[in-house]
Amino acid sequence: MEKREQLYSGKAKSVYTTDDADVMVLEFRDDTSAFDGKKVEQLDRKGMVNNKFNAFVMQKLEAAGIPTHFIKLLSDTESAVKRLEMIPIECVVRNVAAGSICRRYGVQEGMDLNPPTFEFFLKNDALGDPMVNEYHIDSFGWATADQVARAKELTFAANDVLKAMFDQAGMVLVDYKLEFGMYKGELVLGDEFSPDGCRIWDKETRKKLDKDRFRQGLGGVIEAYEEVGRRLGISFD
Ligand code: UDP
């Protein structure tokens, strides 16, 4: 497989075509952003850490029967993935209250959400990724009812796998965001799963080990990502 031209460059990843129309290369860069791109920095090793972290999680999910776009690692910072037609919706599951849900509903950070709650957001930085519901998605034609139902089912299925995985490694999976796309008529998990798109706390101390360290200027961002990875058994050497 041969990497060809850059198709798209997002806030933290770049996407390249290959000589196979069904396969793309994802390059994880060191760029880190928050607040819809308003805070941007380069964090050494981040591309490599997130690429390997994502590969590990995608393979776990695939093994649990959740279809993903991941094919294989190509280098420290690159992975081959299936080329999906992306749906412009973010699916968020929350096991514990943190971030925007606390601001929106005035709930205390750290409150257990039982059952976990689910939210859709529209992927649109200019609008600040507003929360949307299933009626909006249907009326505006962002996805079909079948795609929405399947995305919800797969996002909750991922919660069962990942909550247990983090718990066994002494961590709490607070919340996370997934994005899906279509591949040959099937809804498939795309984008990435890394500490950039989820919240992970130490189970005992509740120390934040995810991108909130960057958002809140707490420092030790990549050290925390690597710590999470090491506890899960990922090697970053
Ligand atoms: N998230 C993300 N990309 C976004 C918005 C949210 O990956 O554009 C993730 C975020 O890291 C967290 C979860 O989705 O794990 C819920 O985010 P929240 O709505 O609390 O927004 P935030 O407080 O991060 O702005």
Q: How much distance in Å is there from the Cα of 197 to the middle of ligand 1? A: 6
Question: Minimal CA–CA distance to 147: which of 187, 108, 110, 178?
Answer: 187
Q: How far apart are CA 170 and CA 231, in angstroms?
A: 8
C-alpha to C-alpha distances, 171 to 43, 95, 168, 182, 205, nearest whole angstrom? 23, 12, 7, 32, 10
Tokens 């247990």, located at residue: 164
Tens-digit pLDDT profile for residues 62-90: 999 999 999 999 999 999 999 999 999 99
Tens-digit pLDDT profile for residues 9-25: 999 999 999 999 999 99
| CATH, range 85-232 | 3.30.470.20
Tens-digit pLDDT profile for residues 140-150: 999 999 999 99
Nearest atom, ligand 1, residue 211 CA: 11
Tens-digit pLDDT profile for residues 105-139: 999 999 999 999 999 999 999 999 999 999 999 99
> Atom 13 in ligand 1: which residue has the minimum CA distance?
176
Q: Is the pLDDT of residue 36 over 90?
A: no
Question: Minimal CA–CA distance to 88: which of 16, 181, 206, 12?
Answer: 181
Tens-digit pLDDT profile for residues 176-186: 999 999 999 99
The domain limits of the chain are 3-82, 85-232
Number of CB atoms found within 10 A of residue 88's CB? 15
Q: How much distance in Å is there from the Cα of 102 to the middle of ligand 1? A: 12
Task: Kindly list the protein residues whose Cβ atom lies closer than 6 A to any atom of ligand 1.
Answer: 90, 92, 99-101, 129, 175-177, 197-199, 211
Q: How much distance in Å is there from the Cα of 196 to the middle of ligand 1? A: 9
Q: What angle do CA 30, 32, 38 make, to 5 degrees?
A: 145
Question: Minimal CA–CA distance to 185: which of 117, 102, 84?
Answer: 84
- Select from 89, 93, 100 the residue to mutate for testing ligand 1; criterion: most ligand atoms less than 8 Å from CB: 100
For the chain, the average pLDDT equals 98
Tell me the torsion sign for CA atoms 213, 215, 219, 223.
positive
Q: How far apart are CA 1 and CA 17, in angstroms?
A: 10
Distance of CA 202 to the CA centre of its chain: 19
Q: Is the pLDDT of residue 188 over 90?
A: yes
85-232 shares the fold of 3-82 = no
Tens-digit pLDDT profile for residues 134-173: 999 999 999 999 999 999 999 999 999 999 999 999 999 9
Q: Is the pLDDT of residue 101 over 90?
A: yes
Nearest atom, ligand 1, residue 36 CA: 8
Superfamily holding 3-82: Phosphorylase Kinase; domain 1 (3.30.200.20)
Q: What is the mean pLDDT of residues 212-230?
A: 98
Amino acid at position 236, single letter: F
pTM for the full predicted model: 0.98
Q: What is the mean pLDDT of residues 210-230?
A: 98
Q: What angle do CA 126, 78, 178 make, to 5 degrees?
A: 45
